[in-house]
A and B are shown apart, each in its own frame.
Chain A
Amino acid sequence: MKNSKFWFSFFVGPILFAFIVVVIIPMFMGIYYSFTDWNGIGNTANWIGLKNYIDVFKDKDFLSAFIFTAKFAVVSVITINLMGFGLALLVTRGLKISNFLRSAFFMPNLIGGLILGFVWQFIFTKAFDSLGRLSGLGFLEGWLADPTTGFWGLVILMSWQMAGYMMVIYIASLESIPESLIEAAEIDGANAWERLIHITIPLVAPAFTVGLFLTLSNSFKLYDQNLSLTGGGPYNSTQMLAMNIYNTAFKFDDFGLAQGKAVIFLITVAAISLTQIYYSKKREVEM
């Protein structure tokens, strides 16, 4: 018995140690610090009760970041998954160029969010301006200069980046549908639209669960793209939650308040993800 305990710690110990040091301990310390006036240096943290949490709700920037993030998450979850699913339907049609298209659609995913944000900053500010002047379409000019276009800029960037990833997930699911089912429906006289709604979509529901989970949690945690595309500007109007927490700590040196925000962030992300998984799972059907 002693022997088996030795081997258990030998195999599980190293990664468990790293996990505890970088995830578990910081999480509990973070919860503790959120009730203090911690200044980031460590030893001078006085207990101040709920003050940080009360301040969080008085912080207008935080509230607007929260609303902006929530809106962004809703819109981008819809666009990313619709696009991903649409692309998956398109490239599973047996076209000769399917393989090339899969690579093309997936490509933006490989490159880090920070770099993609810079890429699109150029597209929106320079290429859109230039196109707008050439074509006379005024709405193309001055992108990222106000909150609305900043919002849509982020949505476009994220949809472009993540649609290919979702496509890969949906392709795997679409390819696992037995062809006989589709053929049977065809013989029964169902048209393409009916086959999609009544056969395909219910059968790929488990993939939707995963797709929604990934896009929802990614949208809520978005930081790199936000930083490099708009930097939160103009006037913090496109600042998202992750960036607001970062700035509270490192720009305004208010670590206690930042940690209070971080705890609220943790609870929000966990609650939304769990609720979504619960409801999506309930809707899945057995094949």
Chain B
Amino acid sequence: MKSKKRNKTFVLIISILLGILFLSPFYIILSNSFKTQKGIFLNVMSLPFGDFFTSNNYIEAFRELDFIHSFLNSLFITVSSTIIIVIFASMAAWMLVRTKTRFSSFLFFVFAAAMLIPFQSVMLPLVNIMGKLGLLNPVGLVFMYLGFGSSLSIILYHGFIKNIPKELEEAAVIDGCNKFQVFWYIIFPLLKPITVTVSILNTMWIWNDFLLPQLVINKPEWHTIPLKMFYFFGQHSKQWHLALAGLVIAMIPIIIFYFIAQKHIIKGVTQGSIK
């Protein structure tokens, strides 16, 4: 019994040390983001005190990142993409589950198999096509996220819908509902748990995505946060004090999102991995 207790203390100490080690990069970035350029040069490990302390980095980085603007761009693209993925993926998955034909199982197989296609193998022709259609802009980007988000989202909805009994729908049909009404009034509300998962996985992916916006968005006023960060960093690669403040600002929204939706995020990741 005593050795069990000692064992537990040992595990606790290891855990705390690992926790500190894992979070230390955040601490280093945060503490140095409050230092002057000279302060960073002299000692990275010290706390930002005395002459080395400054909060000007943040003011300047905030302005140069045009943060509110790029935040709103990211928000618009992420929210609208996630909403249309949720709507169209749930609709398609329901129909694919309820239609027992060879064609529908073939379609489901193709959606699932597309998970294996790396983005790099389709990106060059994709940009070419989108350019010809005049869709190298935020609207086109949302459309592309619908296409690339379809596989995982349909698989997740498909797995969930399979376990919903059909009787409910049949009763609604007898009452005179058409398929559209059956889906929106009966089925869609039942899908809420998996809708939360699908929304979270897509939000995390789209919010952080860099390569697709880099290929698609050519006007600075449409830049998302990762894109803006990339160019900002390029301009200030020798000025760590500004770059660090910019990095912290760029991380804040998603960290706030994490604290609000933590439980759902962890659950979403778990469900998303069990396909």
Contacts and interface: CB of A to CB of B under 8 A. Distances in A.
A274 B226 CA distance: 32
A136 interface: no
A18 B40 contact: no
Is the contact region of chain B dominated by helix, strand, or loop, or is it mixed? helix
A127 B121 contact: no
A198 B96 CA distance: 41
A20 to B, nearest CB: 8
Contact of A120 (B25, B148, B183, B265): B25
Given A15-B146, A255-B124, A111 B211 contact: no
Contact of A172 (B107, B180, B274): B274
Contact of A114 (B14, B104, B204, B226): B226
B117 A112 contact: no
Contacts of A21: 129, 143, 147
A90 B10 CA distance: 11
Given A12-B92, A258-B124, A169 B129 contact: no
Contacts of B1: none
Contacts of B11: 90, 93, 95
Interface stretch (A71-79, A99-107, A142-150, A177-185): A99-107
Given A26-B125, A104-B22, A168-B266, A110 B118 contact: no
Contacts of B247: 115, 118-119
Contact of A97 (B16, B96, B255, B266): B16
A259 interface: yes
B269 interface: yes
Most B CB atoms within 10 A — which of A22, A97, A258?
A22
B233 A23 contact: no
B126 interface: yes
B210 interface: yes
B114 A23 contact: yes
A29 B26 CA distance: 43
- What's the interface size class on B, roughly? 35 or more
Contacts of A40: 124, 128
B44 A130 contact: yes
A26 B111 contact: no
B109 interface: no
A220 B118 contact: yes
A30 interface: yes
Interface string A203-229: 000010011001001001101100010
Interface string B252-264: 0011011000100
Contacts of B257: 110
B95 interface: yes
A123 B183 contact: no
Contacts of A10: 179-180
B274 A210 contact: yes
B255 A104 contact: no
Given A19-B111, A115-B250, A119-B247, A165 B269 contact: yes
Given A8-B95, A25-B125, A112 B209 contact: yes
Most B CB atoms within 10 A — which of A97, A118, A172, A245?
A118
Contacts of B122: 22-23, 26-27, 30, 262
Interface of B: 8, 11-12, 14-16, 18-19, 22-23, 25-26, 28-29, 32, 40, 43-45, 88-89, 91-92, 94-96, 99, 104, 107, 110-111, 114, 116-126, 128-129, 131-132, 143-144, 146-148, 150-151, 154, 179-180, 183, 204, 207-211, 226, 229-230, 233, 240, 243-244, 247, 250-251, 254-255, 257-258, 262, 265-266, 269-270, 273-275
14 contacts: A7-B95, A14-B88, A19-B147, A26-B124, A104-B23, A106-B266, A107-B22, A109-B204, A110-B265, A119-B29, A123-B28, A228-B230, A259-B125, A270-B116
Given A120-B25, A122-B29, 4 more contacts: A15-B89, A16-B107, A21-B129, A118-B233
Interface of A: 4, 7-8, 10-12, 14-16, 18-27, 29-30, 33, 40, 42, 87, 90-91, 93, 95, 97, 100-115, 118-120, 122-123, 126-127, 129-131, 134, 160, 164-165, 168-169, 171-172, 207, 210-211, 214, 217, 220-221, 223-224, 228, 241-242, 245-246, 249, 255, 258-259, 262-263, 265-266, 269-270, 273-274
**Which 10 A-B pairs have CB atoms at the shortest separation, nearest pair first?**
A112-B208, A22-B147, A11-B95, A266-B121, A130-B44, A26-B122, A29-B125, A18-B147, A15-B88, A26-B125
